[in-house]
Structures are given as structure tokens and as C-alpha cells.
Amino acid sequence: MSILNILRYPDPRLHKIAQPVTAFDARLAKLVADMADTMYEAPGVGLAATQVDVHERVVVIDISEDKSQLIAFINPEIIWSSEERTVYDEGCLSVPGVYDGVERPSKVKVRAFDVKGEQFELEADGLLAVCIQHEMDHLVGKVFVEYLSPLKRNRIKTRMMKEERGIAREKALREQGRRI
């Protein structure tokens, strides 16, 4: 399988709204497999298609220690959430190295399709509930830093832009070295 490029905040493509999946075919199965490989390689516990510049309602999550419990959510929708809320320190593969507290419902029930087009429902709490909500935010163009104060968000944006310039500079220097 392929390792996909993960978009980094504040890339504007992270704010695109994902469209529903209409075909449960080999292309979708390959996308899910590639997203899983990308998530594990990163390493992370969740990845939305939006983060790899595919604007379809596809999410992969695996919160197990041994990477043995991959769940693909196609066209997911939260059909119930608890009134009880929890603050969890979240991070994101699109915002590497940044972690901060986000308050979300403690429990959710999600309805989705698997990669074969079979519908299922799943009730989740703890880390799985957080991951489901975090990844589904990506599908509507929202990154977790948008829950933070404007001051924190601007500091993170500035830091990410500086890091991106540094990465681009290193890449250019490596390419120049190859041409000499």
C-alpha cells in the first residue's frame, strides 16, 4: 500500500467539506488501506480523508496498542451524544507536536458504513469517542485548534508556517545538492 501525504495546518484544503461516498468499490478499499498505512506510519490513532487531500466522508481509526482493531467509517454521522462532557488533550497528524484540551461529549453513537457498504452503529466513550468526533470534524473542514482561543490558534498557525518554510528550505537545499 501507499503512504499518503498528510496536509499540515493551516493548509486551506483542510477546510474543504467532504462529500458523501457513493461507490463502495476497489478504489474505496485502496483509499482506506492507504489511509490506514499512513496513519500507522505517522504514527496516529485516527485519520480523515480530508487530511490526505481526498474530500470524501472517510475516516479510519485504531486506538489499540497493537494496531489490530482498525475501524473504517464511511459516511459517518453522530446520531446521539451524551450531555456529559469531558476535556481531553488532543493532538492531530495535521498539526504535529501540538496538544491541547478540547471539551467534547463523553459518549457518542455513530452510524456509518464499512468499506463493503454494510451499515453499522457503534457506541463509544473515552478515547474512541474523542477520535470519532475529532476525525468527523475534519470532514466538515474543522481542525481541533479551532476550539482553542484565538491567541493560541494564531501562535500555532505561526509556528506551523515557520516549520513549513524550514521544511521547504531543507528540501530546496537537498535538491540543489543533487544537481551539483
Residue 1 has pLDDT above 70, yes or no: no
End-to-end CA, the chain: 34
Let me know: does 137 contact 144? Beta carbons within 8 Å.
yes
> Residues marked as binding for Fe cation?
92, 134, 138
CA angle 48, 33, 163 (to 5 degrees): 50
Q: List, in sequence order, every residue forming a beta bridge with 155; answer none if it has no partner.
A: none
The fold for domain 12-148 equals Peptide Deformylase (3.90.45)
- Average model confidence (pLDDT) across the chain: 95
Distance CA 20, CA 17 (A): 10
Let me know: does 160 contact 9? Beta carbons within 8 Å.
yes
pLDDT digits (tens, 9 = 90+) for 17-36: 999 999 999 999 999 999 99
> Residues marked as binding?
92, 134, 138
Which DSSP letter does residue 26 get? H
Q: Which of 83, 135, 163, 164 is catalytic?
A: 135
pTM equals: 0.92
Is 90 annotated in the active site? no
pLDDT digits (tens, 9 = 90+) for 70-127: 999 999 999 999 999 999 999 999 999 999 999 999 999 999 999 999 999 999 999 9
